[in-house]
Amino acid sequence: MPSSTTVRRRCCAAAILSAALALPALAWAQAPIVIKFSHVVAEKTPKGLGALKFKELAEQKLPGKVQVQVFPSSQLFGDAKELEALLLGDVQLIAPSLSKFDRYTKKIQIFDLPFLFDDIAAVDRFQSGPQGQELLNSMKNRGLVGLAYWHNGMKQLSTKGELKVPADAKGLKFRIQASDVLEAQFRALGANPQKMAFAEVYQALQTGVVDGQENTWSNIYSQKFHEVQKTIAETNHGVIDYMVVTNAKWWDGLPPDIKKGLSEAMAEATAHANKLAEDINQVDRKKIADANKAKIQPLSKEDVAAWRKAMEPVWKKFEGDIGRDLIDAALKSNK
């Protein structure tokens, strides 16, 4: 029989051992889940501010449980790598423009059809409707889940020369996002499109690698494109909006309370960012006008009709992939 001293020693040793074993588990349980949110634009843009709002709300709702790290301006991953990084688990949230998903689903190409939506309000109606909401889940089989749509704004067309009628774009080189629809759009104008990551555009414009580009007022201003372009034609011919996406496996594996808190933070950050987007674009338009570097070229109704006609062939080319029903639903969102 062991003596009482031996029993006490064994109990004590067992207690120390179990405390030691529990320590890492305790530390692990208390370590916040780190959520890396990577994006390519500047902080003072609709997407940049949306990401910061999401961080604030998520950390407020889940104190000590999550830590959101936001990486703007392609600091962590640029266009070419961010979707891959998300699928590999190197980041947990990204918000690429809707033009950058065509490798994952053809349906989302709808957002690139030129002159489909009259304005951002129409885009919003389509995204909030059943077809738009369905698209958030259209890449699940590729490991991606869409959590929200975030607005930026309507696109304008800029070049280093004069730009008023479609013939002015003929023969020029334009930087485009990685989208086959946008490639077809510039080919329809007789121009030469070049797919290029966002972070490379300023230098490509400055050095003459490309002559022009298309983007929102907010992106043009925050990237200083107006300083290296001569004319920005106010075409409003398309939209740059975003889908906030996450890795489906990571998302599905989150504890329910964390998922709920993050979903709420995302819904609130989305409402906040989407309310700001139009104002930011209009303020940045004014800053570009005041800077007096590139001329803002207004277009008459007739001018716009000419651009619309020149880009029309693109619709036919992609109607099969996108689906006529989806296009009709989008058209109905114009009022």
- Which residues bind to ligand LMR, rule: CB under 6 A? 40-41, 97, 152, 177, 198, 215, 219, 240
Pick 38 or 177: Cβ nearer ligand LMR: 177
How does DSSP assign 266-287, residue by residue? Answer: HHHHHHHHHHHHHHHHHHHHHH
How near is the Cβ of 63 to ligand LMR at its closest, in Å?
A: 30
Rounded to whole angstroms, what are the CA distances from 89 to 51, 84, 124, 144, 252?
Answer: 18, 9, 30, 11, 13
Residue showing the smallest CB distance to ligand LMR in the complex? 97
DSSP annotation of 32: P
Pick 38 or 152: Cβ nearer ligand LMR: 152
Helix-helix angle 256-291:46-61, to 10 degrees: 150
Pick 131 or 215: Cβ nearer ligand LMR: 215
d(CA 223, CA 41): 8
How near is the Cβ of 251 to ligand LMR at its closest, in Å?
A: 22
Nearest CA to 268 out of 54, 45, 51, 49 is that of 54
Helices (H), 42-163: 46-61, 79-88, 120-128, 130-135
CB of 144 within 8 A of CB of 248?
Answer: yes
How near is the Cβ of 97 to ligand LMR at its closest, in Å?
A: 3
Question: Which residues, including other chains, have CB under 8 Å from residue 260's CB and lie 6 or more apart?
Answer: none
Pick 244 or 254: Cβ nearer ligand LMR: 244
How near is the Cβ of 99 to ligand LMR at its closest, in Å?
A: 6
How near is the Cβ of 182 to ligand LMR at its closest, in Å?
A: 10
How near is the Cβ of 116 to ligand LMR at its closest, in Å?
A: 17
Pick 97 or 297: Cβ nearer ligand LMR: 97
Pick 40 or 123: Cβ nearer ligand LMR: 40
Cβ–Cβ contacts within 10 Å for residue 167, how many? 11
